[in-house]
Amino acid sequence: MRKIAILLLLVLAFSPSAHAVQKKVTVKKITTVMDAPNVQMLLVSKASIITIATVDSLTTDVAIGAVDGAGAPLWQKVIDSGVDEVAMATTVDGAANVWLAGFSSQAKSAFTETASVVAENPDAITLEAAEELRGDLNVLTVWKISPVGELLATYTSQYDLPGLINSISVNKSGLSIVGVLSEKPFLQNMSAAGEFSQQASIGTSKTTINTIVRNSDGSSSLFGSSTETLGGKKLAGIRDGVLVKTSKSGAISSVVRSSAIKGDRSWLSADSSLLLSGYVKVGKTTETAITKFTSTFVPTWTIRFASTGQSRAITGAGISYAAMGSKSAIASITGWKPSKAQLLVVAFDAKGVMTSAFGSSELSDPLALAYSKELGIVGLALNADQSPTIFRIAAR
């Protein structure tokens, strides 16, 4: 009996702890770079902060621009192919190229016919020219842009219906896209040569996939939430967070559910190191959960903070960063006592112990979070007017 007890203690001693003991850190102020009222997406490419927006002229176009770490303009580019086009997700590859994924339309001309009889016009009314009809946004479109704003390539795949894109992920083997089509989540893979695979459905309208990580072998890891049985795993809470692995063909190979009894959970962001952030809602309590997973979806550490539910997480130089809309004091963060939702960015070491914290009373919910060794952490968050603002935590 004593040997069993000793063996149990040794197992516990060498097992990874999911909940690390936290040390006190003092909050530092986040640097605001510039207001970006029309920006919908943000990423970083080396020393450039890249912003993406939708602009309207004769057609709907994609505006992409770059500023430096202080907000000074570097370059601007408008993607206008003569049809409506909207970028919905973005990422950057290992060569610092920017990738955009969205939907475009095919132009549809108005029907015209020459009249054989000239109509009388006693009041001399000038007739306006008929506007060209806009087509449905049903062409899946991927744009590849160089670090200095050159459009390097455009890849398209015709769909039957318009769709939405939630996330893209790129590596040397190609690109993976997740979105919504006919109210169902879908996965679309593209090879490095620009060849699109057959589209795959992931569950039904009861499943939401928010983000994707493409693996080196062409398979993918998908993260979101579901209220249906998925991959043979049944619903445990009101809504469960789900971690889904798919094969190269898009077939589901495994599912892990993150549940809270009588709770609503969802994963909102993930990076290639499998650092995830999401929300947990139980009754009137809402928290942000930040968890580091292994490649087999086993958590190595996790931590929760009271929040608005909005969050983003990313890894940079071996440090894990999580941004959230924090709405209450946190015992382990000195000087942090928000009276309303405020932006908080927390850094963690490999064991999930907080090493630093950064806050802003001027900003609230995060919209995007990115990292480069040249710039450090760069993000997009809502200001007091509920308009996007770019912020930065400089590299150390």
Give the pLDDT confidence of 306-332 residue by residue, as tens digits: 999 999 999 999 999 999 999 999 999
CA distances from 30 to 267, 342, 378, 390, 392 (A): 25, 11, 10, 11, 7
- The answer to whether the CB of 324 falls within 8 A of the CB of 341 is no
Q: Which of the four pLDDT bands, split at 50, 70 and 90, describes residue 359?
A: very high
Q: Tell me, what's the pLDDT at 21? A: 86
Mean pLDDT, residues 271-299: 97
Q: Which of 223, 95, 247 is nearest to 171 (CA)?
A: 95
Mean pLDDT, residues 262-284: 97
Q: Which of the four pLDDT bands, split at 50, 70 and 90, describes residue 18?
A: low
Per-residue DSSP letter, 19: S
Q: Tell me, what's the pLDDT at 57? A: 87
* Own/partner pairs, 180-187, CB within 8 angstroms, 24+ separation: 185/209, 185/224, 187/212, 187/220, 187/222, 187/246, 187/250
Q: Tell me, what's the pLDDT at 135? A: 74
More confident residue, 134 or 225: 225
Mean pLDDT, residues 77-95: 96
Spans of all domains in the chain: 25-106+133-393
Q: Find all residues with CB under 8 Å of 208, minimum gap 6, and list them.
A: 185, 224, 225, 226, 266
Instruction: Note the pLDDT tens digit of each residue in 144-155.
Output: 999 999 999 999
Instruction: Note the pLDDT tens digit of each residue in 23-72.
Output: 899 999 999 999 999 999 999 999 999 999 999 989 999 999 999 999 99
Q: Which of the four pLDDT bands, split at 50, 70 and 90, describes residue 124?
A: low
- The answer to whether the CB of 51 falls within 8 A of the CB of 41 is yes
Q: Which of the four pLDDT bands, split at 50, 70 and 90, describes residue 2?
A: very low
- The answer to whether the CB of 255 falls within 8 A of the CB of 244 is yes
Which of 105-109, 127-131, 236-240, 349-353 bottoms out in mean pLDDT, i.e. has the lowest?
A: 127-131
Q: Tell me, what's the pLDDT at 111? A: 44
Mean pLDDT, residues 79-88: 96
What's the gap between Cα 86 and its chain centre? 16
- The answer to whether the CB of 239 falls within 8 A of the CB of 227 is yes
What are the beta bridge partners of residue 304? 289
Residue 16 scores a pLDDT above 60: no
Q: Tell me, what's the pLDDT at 123? A: 60
Q: With 0-12 CB in 10 A as exposed, 13-18 as middle and 19+ as buried, what is 4?
A: exposed
Tell me the one-letter amino acid at 8: L
Q: Which of the four pLDDT bands, split at 50, 70 and 90, describes residue 80?
A: very high
More confident residue, 144 or 110: 144
- Residue-averaged pLDDT of the chain: 90
At residue 2, φ and ψ (nearest 5 deg) are -65, -40
Percent of the chain with pLDDT over 90: 84
13: part of which helix (H) or strand (E)? helix 2-14
d(C-alpha 200, C-alpha 202), whole Å:
7
Q: Using CA of residue 298, residue 302, residue 307, residue 313, what is the dihedral sign?
A: negative
Q: What angle do CA 236, 367, 338 make, to 5 degrees?
A: 85
Q: Tell me, what's the pLDDT at 121? A: 60
Residue 269 scores a pLDDT above 70: yes
Q: Tell me, what's the pLDDT at 195? A: 96
Residue 125 scores a pLDDT above 90: no
317: part of which helix (H) or strand (E)? none
Pick the CATH number of 25-106+133-393 from 2.130.10.10, 1.10.1040.10, 3.90.870.10, 3.10.20.30: 2.130.10.10
Q: Tell me, what's the pLDDT at 3? A: 41
Q: Tell me, what's the pLDDT at 395? A: 74
d(C-alpha 197, C-alpha 175), whole Å:
11
Mean pLDDT, residues 260-267: 95
Instruction: Note the pLDDT tens digit of each residue in 204-238.
Output: 999 999 999 999 999 999 999 999 999 999 999 99
Residue 396 scores a pLDDT above 80: no
Radius of gyration over alpha carbons of the chain, in Å? 24
Q: Tell me, what's the pLDDT at 106? A: 84
Residue 8 scores a pLDDT above 80: no
DSSP labels for 140-162? EEEEEE-TTS-EEEEEEEE-SS-
